[in-house]
Amino acid sequence: MSTETAETLKQGRVLPVTDLSLVVLVGASGSGKSTFARRHFTPTEVLSSDFCRGLVSDDENDQSATGDAFDVLYYIAGKRLAAGRRTVVDATSVQPDARRRLIDLARQYDVLPIAIVLDVPEEVCAERNAARADRADMPRRVVQRHTRELRRSLRHLEREGFRKVHVLRGVEEVENATVVTEKRFNDLTHLTGPFDIIGDIHGCSSELETLLGKLGYTDGVHPEGRTAVFVGDLVDRGPDSPGVLRRVMAMVKSGNALCVPGNHENKYGRHLKGRKVQHTHGLAETVEQMEAESEEFRREVREFIDGLVSHYVLDGGRLVVCHAGLPEKYHGRTSGRVRSHALYGETTGETDEFGLPVRYPWAEDYRGRAAVVYGHTPVPEATWLNNTICLDTGAVFGGKLTALRWPERELVDVPAERVWYEPARPLRTEAPGGQDGRPLDLADVHGRRVVETRHQGRISVREENAAAALEVMSRFAVDPRLLPYLPPTMAPTATSRVEGYLEHPAEAFEQYRQDGIARVVCEEKHMGSRAVALVCRDAETASRRFGVEGPTGSLYTRTGRPFFDDPSVTEEILSRVRTALDESGLWEELATDWVLLDAELMPWSLKASGLLRSQYAAVGAASGAVFPDVLAALEGAAARGVEVTDLLARQSGRAADAAAFTEAYRRYCWTTDGLDGVRLAPFQILAVQGRSLAGLPHDEQLALLDRLVEHDGSGLLQTTRRLCVDTADPESVQAGTDWWLEMTGRGGEGMVVKPAGALVRTEAGRLVQPGIKCRGREYLRIIYGPEYTRPENLARLRTRFLNHKRSLALREYALGLEALDRLADGEPLWRVHEAVFGVLALESEPVDPRL
C-alpha cells in the first residue's frame, strides 16, 4: 500500500485477479460487496450468501438458515471450480473460520484464493443498512462487530493462505477500483507451435545437440519458427549438465524454447539457494561440473530454475507438457499439490525390489482430451497410452534421447553415445500400464452414457442397453484391442406396394433421389454372415500397433464374437487375405501395414448352424412331415363328396409355400471342410494406418477390392457384383430394378443400395443413410415366414414401422464412423472402444428384428 501514489489513487486502483481463482470479498454488512461484485464480475461468477439463504429458507436475512445456506454456497462454488470457472464469494467473510473454509475449497480444486477487502467506515455501512427496508432493523452492534473482526483480520490474510490480497480503504477507493483479469502462468493456450518436445536430457549435451540438429535447429533456432519444449531433468548424472543448461537457457531467453522443471532441477535449485540436500542420484556430478563455471552463470541458473513454471497448457488446450505427468483435474491449476505432482508424480507408497518408489499409474486412468507429454520415468520406447506419452527414453542410461513433433505426433530420436550412468534398475520393459495392460475402465462404458461424434453430435446409450452390451462384450467378444469397429445395422427400403412384394428397389432409389443423391451403387447382398477382418502385415505390426502378442489380427461377427473357436483357423484366413494384399501391392499403395475390412463370410450355415437347425430346418421338417397327410386326408374327404375345395386349395398353397421356404434356407447352407467351401467377400476397406476410408467413394473402394480378390490364389475371396444407377434417370432405375429381379429370381438375397459418394449429407446437412437394403422376395420367407407372400399376410405385414430402425441405423453408423476416425487418429484404446461399445449397446434397443 505504501508504494501507492496519490495519482493512482485518483485514477483508481487496478486489481489484478487471476482468471481461474476463488475471489473472496471481505467486508462488513453494508460495505458495498454486492455492488462491487456486480460492477466487476459477471452475475454467474458471483455467489452471495444472502442469495443462498433465500434459496434454502425463502428469506435472505434468516440468520437461522446460515448453515444450510453456506452448504449450498460451498457446493455450488465447488462445482464451478471443478469446471474451471472463476468464482467470487459475496459474504462478509470477516471471521477467520469462514475464510478458512473458502481457502480449503480453493485448495481442494487447486485454484488461487484471492482476497479483496472492502474496508469502509462503520458509519457508512450502518447508514446503508438503515436505508434498506430488509435490513433496517439490523442492530448497530452487528456492523460494529463486523468492522472489529475485519480490522483484526487484515494483517493475517496472506498467512491464512490468500495468494493475493487487495485492500481497498474507504468509499472512494472502492468506487474507483478496476479489476483486470490476469492469465495464469501455465496458460499458454494461445501458443500453437509447432513444437518439438524433448525428453529427459540429464546432462547429455552432445546427444542434445545431435537431436536439435536432426530436428532442424541451427544454433538453437528453427528456420520454420518451431518452438522446442523441454520436459525437465536437464541436469544430473550425465557428462555435461552446464552445457545443457547453457543451451536450454539461451533458447528459452530468445523465445525459441519453453521449459518446465524436473525434480532434478528443483533439487539443484535448492542446493544453489544454500539448502541442505543429499548429493545422490547424480547431483554430485552436476555440482562438480558447475564448480568449473562462473559465479555469474550459477546465479543465472538459479534464477532460471526459480522462474520455471510447473507445467504448460499449450495449443488451445490440446497439449499439456510437464515433467512427471499430470491428471486432467490438475491441468492449468495452481497449487502446491499440482506443482508437486508435475515434478514428482504420485507414488503408491510401496517400493519395488530395487528400493525405488512404485509410481502410481496415473496415465492408465487418464481420460482427458488434452495430450499429456512428459518424462521422468525411463522407458525403452516412447509409446502413447490414453493420450499420454513419456519421452524419457533413458539417454543417460545408454538408451536414446527422444523428441515428439507436435502436432504431427512424430517421434524423432538419437541414440545415446554410451552408457553415461548405470541405472539402479533395468529400463522397464513396458510402457506404464504394461503391454498386457492398456486397461479399459468400466467407467468408460458402464451406465447411461453420451458419446460425442463428429458426424451426428451427441449419441446417448441407455443404461439397460449398456448392461447387455457389457455382458456380451466381456464374455464373448474378442480382445477389445482387436475390435476397433462394429458394423451398424441397416434399414430396409420403404415398404413396397407392388403386388406380391414387401420390398422392391423402386422405393430405395426414390428415397435417395429425394435426398438429392443422384448416383448410387447397387451391391449384391451376399448370402452369409457379416464379418469384420482386421489384418496386420505381421505379428510385429499387431504387437506394435494393437498391443497384442501372438495374433496377427481378428475376424469377428456383428457382435464382436470370434467366427472360429480355433484361433489357427482365423490365422489361416488372415494369412490368405494377407497374401492377396502382398500380391496386389495394396500395402504400399495404401501406405499401411494393417487394414480393417468390412465383409461377408459365407456360408451362413457356418455361423448360424444352431439357429438353422433349431428354427429353420425344424420348420422345414415339421411342414414336410405334416402336409402329405393333410393333403391325403383332404383328398379322401373330397373323394367322398365332402365340400373341401377351398380348404384343399389353400392347404396345397401352404404346402408349396413351405417347400419354397425350405428351398430358400437351403441356399444358405453348404457343407464346409476346414476352410474348403468358406468364402469371404470384402466390400469395404474401413480404415488403414492413419486414415479412415469410410468416406472413399464406393466405386473406388470396389476397384481396390477387385484387385485384392484378383490376387487371391486360395479361392477364399469373392468379389461383390455391383451396378451403378442414376436415381434421376428412369431408364437407369429400371435397369437397377431388372438387375435385382434377375438376381433375386435366381434365389439371391437381394442388394444394398448405397450413395456412390459413401459418406454424404443432404443439402440441408442431414446425414444420409449409408445404405438401404432391398431383400429378395424368396429370401424374405426366412424372415417373415413361409406364407408371408399370401395377400392377406402381405397386407398386414405392410404396416411395418421403419422410423426407429432408420434412426438406429444412422446413430450406429455415426458411432462406427467415430470409432474409425478415433482409430485413424491414433486415439487411445478407450476412446475407440467407447464408440464400438456404443454400437453394440444400441443393437439391443427394441426395434422390430425383421427389419
Q: Which residues from 607-626 bind another protein, rule CB under 8 A?
A: 607-608, 610-611, 613-626
Can you tell me which of 96, 437, 677, 826 binds another protein, judged by CB under 8 A? Answer: 437
Q: How far is the CB of 356 from another protein (least distance, A)?
A: 14
Q: What whole-number distance in Å separates Cα of residue 257 and Cα of residue 244?
A: 13
- Identify residues 332-361 at the interface with another protein (CB under 8 A): 350
Q: How far is the CB of 593 from another protein (least distance, A)?
A: 22
Query: Does 34 sit near another protein (CB under 8 A)?
Result: no
Instruction: Report the residue number, 217 or 485, with the smaller CB distance to another protein.
Output: 485
- Identify residues 368-427 at the interface with another protein (CB under 8 A): none
Q: How far is the CB of 635 from another protein (least distance, A)?
A: 8
The C-alpha cell at 494 is 420403404
Query: Does 843 sit near another protein (CB under 8 A)?
Result: yes
Q: What whole-number distance in Å separates Cα of residue 111 and Cα of residue 103?
A: 9
Query: Does 78 sit near another protein (CB under 8 A)?
Result: no
Judge whether 363 and 434 are in contact, CB under 8 Å. no
Q: 777 vs 149, 173, 615, CA distance in Å?
A: 88, 87, 20
Instruction: Report the residue number, 58 or 549, with the smaller CB distance to another protein.
Output: 549
Q: How far is the CB of 755 from another protein (least distance, A)?
A: 24
The values of phi and psi at residue 162, to 5°, are -70, 130
Q: How far is the CB of 759 from another protein (least distance, A)?
A: 23
Query: Does 546 sit near another protein (CB under 8 A)?
Result: no
Q: Give the number of other CB atoms < 10 A from CB of residue 543.
A: 16
Q: What whole-number distance in Å separates Cα of residue 231 and Cα of residue 244?
A: 13
Q: What is the DSSP letter of 612?
A: I
Q: How far is the CB of 803 from another protein (least distance, A)?
A: 16
Query: Does 653 sit near another protein (CB under 8 A)?
Result: no
Judge whether 207 and 403 are in contact, CB under 8 Å. no
Q: What whole-number distance in Å separates Cα of residue 11 and Cα of residue 656?
A: 100
- Identify residues 751-790 at the interface with another protein (CB under 8 A): 782-788
Q: Give the number of other CB atoms < 10 A from CB of residue 131.
A: 10
Query: Does 367 sit near another protein (CB under 8 A)?
Result: no
Q: How far is the CB of 350 from another protein (least distance, A)?
A: 6
Can you tell me which of 302, 337, 558, 804 binds another protein, judged by CB under 8 A? Answer: 558
Q: Which amino acid is at 400?
A: K
Report the interhelical angle of 263-272 vs 336-344 (nearest 10°). Answer: 110
- Identify residues 516-535 at the interface with another protein (CB under 8 A): 529
- Identify residues 658-677 at the interface with another protein (CB under 8 A): 658, 661-662, 666, 669, 671
Can you tell me which of 254, 474, 714, 762 binds another protein, judged by CB under 8 A? Answer: 474
Instruction: Report the residue number, 551 or 757, with the smaller CB distance to another protein.
Output: 551
Nearest to 491 by CA among 272, 781, 713, 805: 805
Judge whether 680 and 573 are in contact, CB under 8 Å. yes
Q: What whole-number distance in Å separates Cα of residue 594 and Cα of residue 574?
A: 11
Instruction: Report the residue number, 253 or 613, with the smaller CB distance to another protein.
Output: 613
Total residues in contact with another protein, by rule CB under 8 A? 99
Q: How far apart are the first and last CA of the chain?
A: 77
Q: What whole-number distance in Å separates Cα of residue 400 and Cα of residue 422?
A: 14
Give the side-chain half-sphere CA count within 13 A for 383.
21
Can you tell me which of 793, 802, 807, 826 binds another protein, judged by CB under 8 A? Answer: 793
Query: Does 640 sit near another protein (CB under 8 A)?
Result: yes
Q: What whole-number distance in Å separates Cα of residue 246 and Cα of residue 764?
A: 59
The C-alpha cell at 262 is 524436473
Query: Does 277 sit near another protein (CB under 8 A)?
Result: no
Can you tell me which of 39, 183, 746, 796 binds another protein, judged by CB under 8 A? Answer: 796
Q: How far is the CB of 844 from another protein (least distance, A)?
A: 4
Can you tell me which of 424, 450, 467, 656 binds another protein, judged by CB under 8 A? Answer: 467
Can you tell me which of 4, 452, 582, 635 binds another protein, judged by CB under 8 A? Answer: 635
Query: Does 439 sit near another protein (CB under 8 A)?
Result: yes
The C-alpha cell at 593 is 501395414
Piece of 118-126, 299-307, 381-389, 462-470 that binds another protein (CB under 8 A): 462-470
